[in-house]
Amino acid sequence: MASPTLGDRQIWEVFRRGAVAAGAAGWDFLFPPSCLLCAAEPLVETNFCDACRQEVTAPVDQLCQRCSAPVGPNLNTQRGCVYCREERFAFRRVLALGPYESTLRRTILTGKTAHGAPHISALTDMLIDSRLPELLVEPFDAIVPVPHHWQRRFWQLHAASETVAERLASRLRRRYAPHILRKPKATPLQSSSTPSERRKQQRGAFTTPEGCRLDGLRLLLVDDVLTTGATAHAATQALIAAGAADVLVVVLARGLGHRGSKLH
Ligand SMILES: [Zn+2]
Ligand SMILES: [Zn+2]
């Protein structure tokens, strides 16, 4: 039998893609996707139902413009809020989806488990939807995830900071740059340290590869949670030492250091 011509192959490819799409549509018809959080109702082209979406998304006008901490409505926070006014951050500002508590906290913790990447991606979509006007006016050149020490990364199927950064890069069509920041120094995973101890632990924890120059680059530094800001501050210092001109931090949630929360 003669081998298929290019035309036959194209027809087969169209047939194959059609069969895969029909199979997926049939699967969705038989088992409609439900909310990742409450599994309550069938959804179309979204991962969270409206009720859960509202629960994890804080109104942007009630978040500090500098550090994204929850503040009351109608407050001028251009120069910071009660949570950040005394802080000297190397980064310019923080954009978050909401406070690290209740449903958002639970969803992030689920997202950090071995098969939690879809939760993290879905939260990132909500973050983009919620803060899109600000992300669009920020003229950044590349998106950098906060790296983990290799011993910690070795055992992880996925890292939340990378999942968020990749999703942001793909949806905002910006360069994903995971290799320009490294973390050669291991720091405690969970800590009961005070904020000042935490800052000491993070000092010098990050570097850029030898010879790497970031002259004039405006970067989006991405992590899952920001609490004291010590991690993002230390990472930003390494980026600025390599020449970066401006660093904006994007996280899923802003923690305020409640007992039991993970300090970053
Ligand atoms: Zn739901
Ligand atoms: Zn603030």
| Residues 30-56, mean pLDDT to the nearest whole number | 78
CA of 93 to the centre of ligand 2 (A): 9
State how far the Cα of 87 lies from the Cα of 226, in Å rounded to an integer: 13
CA of 103 to the centre of ligand 1 (A): 10
CA of 86 to the centre of ligand 2 (A): 9
Ligand number nearest to the C-alpha of 46: 1
Q: Shortest CA distance to 231 belongs to which of 240, 241, 221?
A: 221
State how far the Cα of 63 lies from the Cα of 202, in Å rounded to an integer: 26
Q: Is residue 66 within 8 Å of 113, Cβ to Cβ?
A: no
State how far the Cα of 123 lies from the Cα of 117, in Å rounded to an integer: 10
Task: Give the chain's domains with CATH numbers.
Answer: 57-254 (3.40.50)
> Token pair of 262, please?
């993970």
Q: Shortest CA distance to 92 belongs to which of 248, 251, 252, 250?
A: 248
CA of 89 to the centre of ligand 2 (A): 11
pLDDT at 46: 75
CA of 18 to the centre of ligand 2 (A): 51
Residue 43: Cβ within 10 Å count: 15
Residues with CB under 5 Å of ion ligand 1 are 35, 37-38, 49, 52
pLDDT over 80 at 168, yes or no? yes
Residues 6+ apart with CB under 8 A from 216: 243, 244, 245
pLDDT over 90 at 22, yes or no? no
Ligand number nearest to the C-alpha of 95: 2
CA of 112 to the centre of ligand 2 (A): 26
* Total-model pTM: 0.82
pLDDT over 60 at 191, yes or no? no
Dihedral angle over CA of 178, 131, 198, 75, nearest 10: 160
CA of 51 to the centre of ligand 1 (A): 6
CA of 102 to the centre of ligand 1 (A): 14
Residue 107: Cβ within 10 Å count: 25
CA of 120 to the centre of ligand 1 (A): 15
CA of 94 to the centre of ligand 1 (A): 27
**How confident is the model over 103-117, as pLDDT tens digits?**
999 999 999 998 899
Dihedral angle over CA of 110, 114, 116, 120, nearest 10: 100
CA of 54 to the centre of ligand 1 (A): 10
pLDDT over 90 at 167, yes or no? yes
Ligand number nearest to the C-alpha of 71: 2
254 falls in which pLDDT band (50, 70, 90)?
very high
What distances in angstroms separate CA 61 from CA 38, 120, 121, 206, one per listed residue? 27, 24, 24, 33
